[in-house]
Chain A
Amino acid sequence: MARLCIERISKKFGHEKVLEDISFEVESGSFSTLLGPPSAGKTTLLRIIAGVETPDEGRIILDREDITNTPPKDRNVALVYQTFALYPHMKVYDNIANPLKAKKLPLAEISKKVNEVSEFLNIRHLLDRYPRELSGGEKQRVAIARALVRDAKIYLFDEPLTNLDYKLREAARTELKKMSKSLKATILYATPDPVDALAMSDSVHVLFRGRLLQSGTPRGVYNLPNDISVVKVFSYPTINLIDANLEMKENKAILRTPFASIDFSTYADTLTEGRYLLAIRPHDLHIVFHSEDASSVNSFKARLHLTYVVGSETIAYADANGVTLVLHLPYIYRITEPKDISVLLDLNKILLFDVKSLKRVFPKRGGG
């Protein structure tokens, strides 16, 4: 267990700035997520922490030691690669035992630890096989075993779930969470999937195009994103962005969108008139099924034209007066032809961003 401090790390590949002035901390024993889309720089950052890539600027401090110039073998950092990186010419046992052999531990102890970890990860029966004989899920567990078998100061995971097929991913996520709880280790976990961040981590750092946009607790960043990019990264499957106009008349504030006029009076005391970018998550748009609710002020009409079911949830696309909206429904819902519906907007979940700076202006409270 150790505390990780990233200080002002920058890295260029050729003329491309892959990482720019990244600074954050991971508390000892905590599970921290590095959240960002592909090409955000997550893998590069993890590689720099592991030591197989050197930063152009900045420092890495692990367990109060500056390891920026230490070779990987002396850093005591474990990294689980997205591609698993299992050694094809060694049996699974030897793959897992490799870090222990590097430390020149006695054979008996190596055997004990390897067996413990494989038992823990349910791969004990695979020890005598070669990586090419394993399925994707099995390979992943071997890769994790190889990391866990060590007593590393920090464990780095590079998108471990991305290469698994969809069904496995759900199960694996649960297992990972259980595992991290019982381990009491410092973990830094890179992923493009916001669900991972929300489900498993104590803190999240949002990375986008080489920049660290926001750090905080998952819920905190989720509810109070500083910036449009943060919302984009931290939404599933995407974010609804709508042009809105706030009008103040007498003591009423109306938020006008192309498809609805929302009574925003209770929330608008800190706001001024003008144009804003309204963001609402697909999760926070609801289909209204009972007619009484349909007459509520915050519902509007839309035409549902496409749905697809993912697991036990549905992603739905609707057209509201020319604006395409994406809805995320926590149940299965299918349509055979376009259907007119009423959509309810959860006012508590509206986010307003300044049109020019793209920074959050509502809710006003400080973000993570």
Chain B
Amino acid sequence: MKLDTWKVAALITFIFLTLWTILPMYYAFITAFKSRVEITYWPPTLIPTEFTTHYWITVWFDRPTIAYYRNTIIAGVISTMIALAFSIPTAYTCARFNFRNRADVLFTILTFRFLPPAAVVLPIYVFLRQLALIDTPISLGLLYGAINIPIGVWVLRSYIREIPPELEESYMIDGYSRTRAFFGITLPLIRPGLVAVSLIILALSWGEFLFASILTTSPVGKTLPVGISEYMGGEWGYEWNKIMAVTFYAIIPTLIAFFIIRKHLARGLTFGIVR
């Protein structure tokens, strides 16, 4: 008897959770297929009476969506490259060498991850403005690179520690320097981890809003999140079909990234602490 109640409850919860996750995404998705009239239907329809694919195309040209996309990609790529450039060496030494201040270094780096963007955005704005670096995806990329270093360091350290140091040592004894050992042994063996970290950093930069909205002013520099929020506020007002279409164009890359690295997601999001 008792077992049955649990099973029923579990099933109900299961269905509820699945619906709760899927429904908003589904509804948003099909809204992009609705005609301009249909979005105002009351009650709102769950299946469009007429499938309109028109808006999926026009959103690219209606507004500077292409520019936003381009900027987001640039900022994301720069961010990933910078974060990796700094994180990889740091992760390596923090994984292999037991030096006195190692704990302090690692914990300081971790702490910086939790600083609120809002608490530093104003001076950064003033600073970049003086250098005329406002409104460019490059400066965003530089900034994002810094924010994502903690993830890079901690997660990569976790992957490096899984490789037995004997492999590198044996390679060195064979006749190579430690640097060559790093490139010949460590790097190839952490390749999945590198991919995972890169995609996570890309995804995080992709969705960043606060810094982007303050530090960019025009389609020259604005990223997708900023662009989309504008459509929301005033530009497109209640044209939900367009808004949803762009939103999904923004979501799709992160979805792809998610599918590629889902086995590494827990580790990536918990700084390497949870496998």
Contacts and interface: CB of A to CB of B under 8 A. Distances in A.
Given A85-B164, A88-B189, A79 B172 contact: no
B171 interface: yes
Interface stretch (B36-44, B173-181, B222-230, B244-252): B173-181
B24 to A, nearest CB: 43
A73 interface: yes
Given A89-B188, A89-B189, A83 B175 contact: no
Contacts of A315: none
B47 interface: no
B176 A102 contact: yes
Contacts of B176: 73, 102
Interface string B152-182: 0000000000001011011111111100000
- Interface size range of chain B in the complex: 10 to 19
Contacts, number: 52
B170 A73 contact: no
B175 A52 contact: no
Interface in A57-89: 71-73, 75, 77-79, 81, 83, 85, 87-89
A147 to B, nearest CB: 9
B185 interface: yes
A255 B171 CA distance: 58
B166 A102 contact: no
A103 B175 CA distance: 7
Contact of A52 (B164, B173, B188, B189): B173
Contact of B166 (A83, A98, A146): A83
Contacts of B170: 79, 81, 85, 87, 146
A87 B166 contact: no
Contacts of A81: 166, 170
A99 interface: yes
B172 A85 contact: no
Given A72-B169, A98-B171, A87 B177 contact: no
Contacts of A51: 172-173
A73 B176 CA distance: 5
Interface residues of A, number: 23
A47 B173 CA distance: 10
Which residue among B164, B166, B176, B185 has the maximum number of chain A CB atoms within 10 Å of its CB? B166
B174 A85 contact: no
Contacts of A98: 171, 174
A87 B174 CA distance: 12
A85 B171 CA distance: 9
B185 A87 contact: yes
Given A88-B189, A89-B189, A72 B164 contact: no
A140 to B, nearest CB: 14
Interface in A142-169: 146, 150
B189 A73 contact: no
Contacts of A52: 169, 172-173
Contacts of A83: 164, 166
Given A88-B189, A89-B189, A73 B166 contact: no
Contacts of B185: 87
A85 B166 contact: yes
Interface in B50-71: none
Given A81-B170, A98-B171, A73 B164 contact: no
Given A52-B172, A87-B167, 20 more contacts: A47-B169, A51-B172, A52-B173, A71-B172, A71-B177, A72-B172, A73-B173, A73-B176, A75-B173, A78-B173, A79-B170, A79-B173, A85-B166, A85-B167, A85-B169, A99-B175, A102-B174, A102-B175, A102-B176, A103-B175
Q: Nearest 9 A-B pairs (CB), nearest first?
A: A102-B175, A99-B174, A85-B166, A85-B170, A52-B169, A72-B172, A73-B175, A72-B173, A98-B174
